[in-house]
Amino acid sequence: MSEINVDVLVIGVGPTGLGAAKRLQQTNLASWLIVDSNETPGGLASTDVTPEGFLYDVGGHVIFSHYKYFDDCINEALPQESDWYTHQRVSYVRFQGGWVPYPFQKNIAVLDPEERARCLEDLVDAALEARVRAAADKPRNFDEWNIRNVGNRLNEIFMHPYNFKVWAVPTTKMNAPNVSARNADPAPTSSSRPSSWPTGRSRRQTERRGGKPGPYWSVTLEVSESAYKPVRHETLLADCVRGLVATELLAPGDEIVSSYVRRFEHGYPTPSVERDGALAESLPHLRDKGILSRGRFGGWKYEVGNQDHSFMQGVEALDNVVSGGIELTLNSPDFVNSRSNTERRLAHFGGLRN
Ligand SMILES: Cc1cc2nc3c(=O)[nH]c(=O)nc-3n(C[C@H](O)[C@H](O)[C@H](O)COP(=O)(O)OP(=O)(O)OC[C@H]3O[C@@H](n4cnc5c(N)ncnc54)[C@H](O)[C@@H]3O)c2cc1C
């Protein structure tokens, strides 16, 4: 087998590797190669096609970018307006047979009066306790952080069960975020109105490449799994359909023309209580060996683990290798998430520190 020598080897053709490769191509300052163990590129940010011709993204894969450079790159790749679907985000939480707009904690106005009063009482208690708490008294985990932010009752009926469903890890085993990057802003308001609830059967047509003529609509379900929350694989699809019927998203007689199940070993980089300590040891250790471990699982920082963040971790890692540029995304998640990052542009390249 012939040997290939390059200055930079990029492992993984997911968004992170693609960010690094794009920057390598743009700067043209180093020889490089990008490889993937999978047959198709895209990593988790890819789309599968079912035998019937329906397209399924891995999860939602909505683009909400924090970076102009990322926007420049995707606009270069998909320049036409018709290349994009633009949606208004509408999210609801199924609760006690009804629908509560998300963020739940901001919409307790739609709860029944007794439940609303319990939530409010605990919220007031949490706010009063916060006033007298010493600055050095930090929450030890995500559960404590939630209780301090929304009070006991909202934690009990929403934060705790919701986060367990998402992460498949108890919130007591997850770290307390510095900012509210993991959930929507906890401050409650009463802005929701019944008229903003979902109306019956609003359906979105699924793009289709074959099969019977539509119209079709689709639903994607994410089911988390862990040692804390095992899943019965043999009955997963049937259990999901039962859940859809129970929540009235499907009617019992509805025809399902296509279904698709894919299991991933890794989906979410859980911010465990031990995470920051482990990263403080492992990332410098790898760096000493000439390896920059970056991206959703390479950097293991959920707060900067979306497509835009991952892509930019690749770009910034490359700038760091070639010219010592600062890796803001990996090292300062709150900073990049709190601003529009407009300094780096695709068209403005005039040196590695642009
Ligand atoms: C269910 C779900 C929903 C999501 N929804 C959104 C969303 O709405 N919006 C959003 O912005 N982001 C979303 N994301 C996050 C998005 O998928 C990630 O940000 C992105 O895919 C991370 O890119 P990455 O390159 O770091 O990792 P990955 O996408 O995991 O890519 C890693 C690549 O490396 C390859 N690889 C791994 N190990 C090796 C090896 N040893 N040798 C060679 N190749 C290897 C893999 O085959 C893969 O192609 C979602 C993720 C999930 C799981």
* C-alpha 316 to ligand 1 mean position (Å): 17
pLDDT single digits (tens) 32-43 = 999 999 999 999
DSSP character string of 17-63: HHHHHHHHHHH--S-EEEE-SSSSS-TTS-EEE-TTSBEEESS----
- For residue 218, what pLDDT is reported? 85
Region of poorest pLDDT, from 15-24, 113-122, 197-206: 197-206
106: number of Cβ within 10 Å: 19
* C-alpha 18 to ligand 1 mean position (Å): 11
Q: Whose CA is nearest to atom 3 of ligand 1?
A: 59
- For residue 197, what pLDDT is reported? 39
3: number of Cβ within 10 Å: 4
- For residue 86, what pLDDT is reported? 83
What is the CB < 6 Å shell around ligand 1?
Answer: 11-17, 35-38, 43-45, 58-63, 222, 267, 295-296, 305-308, 310
Residue matched to tokens 């308001």: 189
- Average pLDDT, integer, range 109-123: 97
- Average pLDDT, integer, range 264-284: 95
Identify the band that residue 216 occupies on the pLDDT scale cut at 50, 70 and 90. Answer: confident
Atom nearest to 62 CA in ligand 1: 8
- The CATH number corresponding to 8-87+270-337 among 3.40.50.970, 3.40.50.300, 3.40.50.720, 3.20.20.140 equals 3.40.50.720
Please report how the helices 307-323 and 15-27 are oriented relative to each other, as an axis angle in degrees rounded to 10: 40
- For residue 207, what pLDDT is reported? 58
- For residue 84, what pLDDT is reported? 87
- pLDDT for residue 209 is more than 80: no
Beta partners for residue 205, in sequence order: 217
* C-alpha 128 to ligand 1 mean position (Å): 42
Among 23, 29, 17, 14, CA closest to 61: 14
Among 346, 328, 348, 347, CA closest to 338: 328
- Average pLDDT, integer, range 41-56: 88
Strands 8-11 and 32-35, sheet pairing: parallel
Instruction: Calculate what percentage of the chain has a pLDDT beyond 70.
Output: 88
Q: Whose CA is nearest to atom 44 of ligand 1?
A: 36
Burial category of 288 from C-beta neighbours within 10 Å (exposed 0-12, middle 13-18, buried 19 and up): exposed
pLDDT single digits (tens) 135-167 = 999 999 999 999 999 999 999 999 999 999 999
As a whole number of angstroms, the distance between CA 232 and CA 211 comes to: 30
Ligand 1 mutation target, pool 296, 336, 337, most atoms within 8 A of CB = 296
* C-alpha 15 to ligand 1 mean position (Å): 7
pLDDT single digits (tens) 73-93 = 999 999 999 888 888 888 999
As a whole number of angstroms, the distance between CA 190 and CA 213 comes to: 43
- For residue 201, what pLDDT is reported? 40
* C-alpha 270 to ligand 1 mean position (Å): 14
Region of poorest pLDDT, from 119-123, 191-195, 348-352: 191-195
Atom nearest to 297 CA in ligand 1: 26
Q: What is the longest distance spanned by two Cα atoms in the chain?
A: 73
- For residue 153, what pLDDT is reported? 98
Burial category of 337 from C-beta neighbours within 10 Å (exposed 0-12, middle 13-18, buried 19 and up): middle
- For residue 189, what pLDDT is reported? 38
Among 62, 316, 61, 332, CA closest to 179: 332
97 Ramachandran zone, left/alpha/beta (phi>0; psi -120 to 50): left
- pLDDT for residue 204 is more than 70: no
- Average pLDDT, integer, range 309-324: 96
Identify the band that residue 352 occupies on the pLDDT scale cut at 50, 70 and 90. Answer: very low
- For residue 232, what pLDDT is reported? 97
* DSSP structure class, residue 285: H
* C-alpha 17 to ligand 1 mean position (Å): 10
**Sequence ranges of the chain with CATH classification 3.40.50.720:** 8-87+270-337
* C-alpha 28 to ligand 1 mean position (Å): 25
Atom nearest to 299 CA in ligand 1: 26
- What is the rounded average pLDDT for all residues in the chain? 88
